[in-house]
Amino acid sequence: MASFLLQRCGEILFENPDQNVKCVCMLGDVRLRGQTGVPAERRGSYPFIDFRLLNNTTHSGEIGTKKKVKRLLSFQRYFHASRLLRGIIPQAPLHLLDEDYLGQARHMLSKVGTWDFDIFLFDRLTNGNSLVTLLCHLFNTHGLIHHFKLDMVTLHRFLVMVQEDYHSQNPYHNAVHAADVTQAMHCYLKEPKLASFLTPLDIMLGLLAAAAHDVDHPGVNQPFLIKTNHHLANLYQNMSVLENHHWRSTIGMLRESRLLAHLPKEMTQDIEQQLGSLILATDINRQNEFLTRLKAHLHNKDLRLEDVHDRHFMLQIALKCADICNPCRIWEMSKQWSERVCEEFYRQGDLEQKFELEISPLCNQQKDSIPSIQIGFMTYIVEPLFREWARFTGNSALSESMLGHLAHNKAQWKSLLPKQHRSGAGGDGGGGGGPDPRPGTEDEEPTGTEGDAA
């Protein structure tokens, strides 16, 4: 079966979620094991980032002297070439999901457009393959495989590369976060005010950008890379360092997989540039730029979604919303995401303390509580953006639901504030926490005032 699939060219179309899930299992990113029975190395499975690896002067002579790795700048392949690039093919058979789990995953995929979709449960049901399974399903649901004449095996290979380039040891910036953002993006693409204007290219760009927007994230933010003189900070001249890296890594994987190799060169170049524009829009340093522009469009009522440029702008806004939508989820899921992103902050703070660096704001577990961080984040980052998104959608049912969850979750965090901070936690976030640099970002050091967060 595997041999047949590898020789097969052209598209593979499925009409229901059952076949989508089974296809993903057959094509296989589930628990590859080596001959020793030990789980094989995966991109994204290495230990938490070592401070020494961030110093670009320490091991510079070790890079790619024997064989060039196409995506050289990957944090993980900086020192570990992938098994596939080294020509080592797993010998053991694939371990497929059992039918009970397939049935539950299939049922969840039938409700992938609902806002209470539980991505944590879906990731467990797919054995850690939520991103691959979700994208295969959505590409089929939106008719993208047929429209762009994509080869299903090549598509799966590309999605596996993306999923494995997320670092699974990151509490927050991992493949589950990417799957969550992708599911949210799918919901936003279905908003009536937007959906009727979208082309297949718009939809594919939106889903791909959502899936890859944080690929190969190291679990530390841009200021950390700058003050440790990391080679990426030097390469991108301290400007949108990680967003540029996410974009370039994505382009490298697209080219390496040859997913779009059959399309005209001009079209693939346009896709690559638009993906970059979308991913770079998630830079928190540009938050005010996009928010001001959106407010102006809504005030002037001059958005023309028939125009490709206005449509692309709203895709950028949709991706920004999807990236920071965790506080707009139901409390049980929102709380998990909040704890995960703060754990990642605290790990960075511990690393900074260990190597006698100044601890970044909001990264000190002894001083910065999760409730105060989240209240600031919701007040200064999430609420302004989602109020404008609701205006754009005409206060759609989804927008009303998200704003309702946001208000409830903010009240929940306020109730969890230490007593001494509750009196100062009114409308301005209080608690001394200030705004979180959004749980989907890494670009700006967490700050304590609204002006600094911009």
Does 374 belong to an annotated binding site? yes
Does 174 belong to an annotated binding site? yes
Does 173 belong to an annotated binding site? yes
What pLDDT shows up at residue 425? Answer: 53
What pLDDT shows up at residue 277? Answer: 98
What pLDDT shows up at residue 420? Answer: 53
| C-alpha torsion 81→86→88→89, nearest 10 | 90
Maximum CA extent, the chain: 67
Average pLDDT, the chain: 80
Does 214 belong to an annotated binding site? yes
Does 209 belong to an annotated binding site? no
Per-residue pLDDT band at 16 (split at 50, 70, 90): low
What is the average per-residue pLDDT within 117-121?
Answer: 98
Does 176 belong to an annotated binding site? yes
What pLDDT shows up at residue 450? Answer: 34
- CATH topology for 104-323 is Catalytic domain of cyclic nucleotide phosphodiesterase 4b2b (1.10.1300)
Residues 203-222 as b/e (b if ≥16 CB within 10 A, e otherwise) read bbbbbbbbbbbbbbbbbbbb
Q: What three-state secondary structure class fits 242?
A: helix
Q: Facing residues of 39 across strands?
A: 33
Cα separation, 165 vs 184, whole angstroms: 21
pLDDT tens for each residue of 241-262: 999 999 999 999 999 999 999 9
173 catalytic per annotation: yes
Does 238 belong to an annotated binding site? no
Share of the chain above pLDDT 70, in %: 70
Per-residue pLDDT band at 103 (split at 50, 70, 90): confident
CA 145 to chain centre: 22
Residues 6 or more apart from 403 whose CB is under 8 A from it? 328, 386, 387, 390
Does 177 belong to an annotated binding site? yes
Q: Which one-letter amino acid corresponds to residue 94?
A: L
Does 307 belong to an annotated binding site? no
Catalytic residue, candidates 142, 167, 173, 246: 173
Cα separation, 204 vs 276, whole angstroms: 14
Q: Degrees (nearest 5) of the Cα angle 271, 272, 276?
A: 115
